[in-house]
A = this chain, B = another copy of it.
Amino acid sequence: MANIEGERAKHRAAQIDSIKRVASHLIAEKGADGLSLRAVAREIGVVSSALYRYFANRDELLTALIYDAYNDLGASVERSEARISRSDCRRRWAVTCRAVRRWARSHPHEFSLLYGTPVPGYRAPKTTIEAASRVVIVMGEILSDSTIASSHGRSVRRSRDVAAFLDVDGLARILPGVPEDFYVRALMAWTLIFGSISFELFGHYVGSVNSPGRLFDEVVEELGELLGI
């Protein structure tokens, strides 16, 4: 079972790769709605029913592509961030945020797939969530490092018991060393970064923002201050 050397197993892996590659191109060109199994089959020179040997249905293929896209985004952001000196938290923060935006702008349809309207009912296989966390983890590390380094006494609003509405255990794993008072602001930063990019890509800034990139940089800086980075 699952003989990795067999001719069949090899062919299978290659086919799955082909399917995902072609499907990925289709999505990049025409968006998730434009992804048609029949078009994929046509492209790789096979009849449409053959695809069902590899993916039970369209949603399953889409889920696989979502997983890959999260990993692509994550890897891209990790690479950019890794190039910056660990001690320069401000720059790490700015570079990380800009890397997210750059990926989003060069993969608009994939970004929509990840952060736009969810396509299936739910799309929360555990592996997907894990892949989705990669960007968040990078951001969390920066905040952690900066908090530890500066032990700043920056005033944070009266904290209220954050444990009442946040999953403090989960957040503590992403934000080690960061006081709970900061959790709300950290979530705000995460949300606003992706919210800004969505607003830009989805056209909501048309008519009020001429250079979304400049605004984004301002937002990143403002958030850096709010977080004490």
Q: Which residues of A approach B to under 8 Å, CB–CB?
A: 31-33, 112, 115-119, 122-124, 129, 132, 157, 160, 164-167, 170-171, 174, 184-185, 187-188, 191-192, 194-196, 198-199, 202-215, 218-219, 221-222, 225-226
Contacts and interface: CB of A to CB of B under 8 A. Distances in A.
Contacts of A208: 166-167, 170-171, 174, 187
B112 A215 contact: no
A210 B32 CA distance: 30
Contacts of A221: 157
B222 A115 contact: no
Contact of A206 (B124, B188, B204): B124
Contacts of A206: 124, 129
Contacts of A212: 165
Contact of A202 (B115, B160, B225): B115
13 contacts: A33-B33, A118-B202, A123-B203, A157-B221, A164-B210, A165-B214, A170-B207, A185-B222, A187-B205, A188-B219, A191-B219, A192-B195, A194-B195
A203 B165 contact: no
Copies in the complex: 2
A221 B221 CA distance: 20
Contacts of A119: 33
Give the interface SS of chain A, mostly helix, strand, loop or mixed.
Answer: helix
A211 B165 contact: yes
Contact of A184 (B195, B210, B219, B225): B219
Nearest to A31: B117
A58 to B, nearest CB: 11
A146 to B, nearest CB: 18
Given A160-B218, A195-B194, A187 B204 contact: no
A191 B196 contact: yes
A157 B116 contact: no
A202 B166 CA distance: 17
B211 A164 contact: yes
Given A171-B208, A195-B195, A222-B184, A124 B214 contact: no
Contact of A209 (B129, B165, B195, B210): B165
B211 A167 contact: no
